[in-house]
Amino acid sequence: MAAEELNKATFAAFRELQADIMPALSQIARPDLIVPDTGPLFHLAWADALHLLHQIGGRVVVADMVALEATQDLSKPGARAITAWIDVGQQRGSNAPVLVAPTGIGELFLKARKSDPDIRPRNAGELAILEWLGSYVAHSEHAGQSVLIVYENGKIPRFVRETGLDLDTDVLTTRAFLELAERRGIVSSAEDYWQRMVASALTANPDIAIMMQRRPGGSDS
């Protein structure tokens, strides 16, 4: 009961701060939306809510490692829905585009899996997407662009900070992402979606956590 009361208090505190936080997030209108670990994909799939990623983001990007981890076992609940969502998003002219970003880490994993099918490198998906982001930033046509990162793995904000991306970057847990969707009028109740999610995903990250990182010299510096 104490834990439940603490969670209610945390949620109430977030609601009090929401009016200050969410308008700042709204400055990034339809950025590339990055999913660096499988958690958000599975949890949104279980709540029949993968479509929300495109309603806030423009293109959705998952690293090859994340796609592999999410779809390699089709008997896992949600895997078939994720596979279908990726397939539709990769069709030419899709209005819900999904980029499966090729990375050196993903290539090495596929080679290693030939000799050891059970290999499971730690944090490979997260490291792969950060590798891709580094190359994304290096291309001059992406200068000044913005990204939105939706995660479940609590290591992601530290990874992003340490990488020092030269991008305006908003980093949100899946639950904070649902709150943003409500703020923008995309869903009527973030809490309803959250309850649908945790009904199937007891491991879903309950934190409503947001990290906003602005590039030096950017508009919010």
Domain CATH number, residue 155: 3.40.50
For residue 25, is it within any domain?
no
Chunk the chain into consecutive blocks of 10 residues (it has 221) and report each block's average pLDDT, rounded to whole numbers: 49 48 47 89 94 90 89 93 96 91 81 74 71 64 74 86 80 95 94 92 88 70 41
Cα distance between residue 217 and residue 220, in whole Å: 8
Q: How far is CA 17 from the centre of its chain?
A: 22
Report how many domains make up the chain: 1
For residue 15, is it within any domain?
no
Closest CA to 99 of 86, 117, 82, 112: 86
Cα distance between residue 66 and residue 192, in whole Å: 27
Record the pTM.
0.79
* Cα 199 to Cα 40, 46, 78, 80, distances in angstroms: 15, 9, 14, 19
The tokens of 138 are what?
């290096």
Concatenate the DSSP letters of all residues of the chain into one string. -HHHHHHHHHHHHHHHHHHHHHHHHTTS-S-EEEE-SHHHHHHHHHTT-THHHHHH-SSEEEEHHHHHHHHS-TTSTTHHHHHHHHHHHTSTT-SS-EEEE--HHHHHHHHHHHH-TT---TTHHHHHHHHHHHHHHHSGGGTT-EEEEEE-STTHHHHHHHHT-SSEEEEEEHHHHHHHHHHTTS-S-HHHHHHHHHHH-TTS-----EEEE--TTSTT-
For 16, half-sphere exposure in the C-beta direction (CA atoms, 13 angstrom radius) is 6
What pLDDT does 6 receive? 47
Q: How far is CA 137 from the centre of its chain?
A: 18
For residue 73, is it within any domain?
yes
For residue 12, is it within any domain?
no
What pLDDT does 147 receive? 85
Q: End-to-end alpha-carbon separation of the chain, Å? A: 42
Cross-strand pairs, 210: 172
What pLDDT does 64 receive? 87
For residue 133, is it within any domain?
yes
For residue 125, is it within any domain?
yes
The tokens of 33 are what?
């939306």
What pLDDT does 122 receive? 66
What pLDDT does 7 receive? 52
Residue 135 contacts residue 104 (beta carbons within 8 Å): no
Full residue range of the structural domain in which residue 137 is found? 32-213
What pLDDT does 144 receive? 61
For residue 69, is it within any domain?
yes
Cα distance between residue 152 and residue 83, in whole Å: 19
For residue 52, is it within any domain?
yes
Closest CA to 158 of 171, 147, 145, 177: 171
